[in-house]
Amino acid sequence: MLNLKAKSGYTPHMGVYKEEAEEIRHTLGSKEIYNERKETIERVLADCKEQYILRYTCLHGLKKNQHQATLIFACYNLKKVARWNFIPSFIFA
Euclidean distance between CA atoms 50 and 58, whole angstroms? 15
Q: Is the dihedral of CA 60, 61, 65, 67 positive or negative?
A: negative
Mean pLDDT, residues 38-65? 82
Euclidean distance between CA atoms 19 and 32, whole angstroms? 19
Check residues 37 and 77 and name the one with the higher pLDDT.
77
Phi, psi of 53 (to 5 degrees): 55, 45
Q: How confident is the model at residue 49 (pLDDT cuts 50, 70, 90)?
A: confident
Verdict on whether the full-model pTM lies above 0.85: no
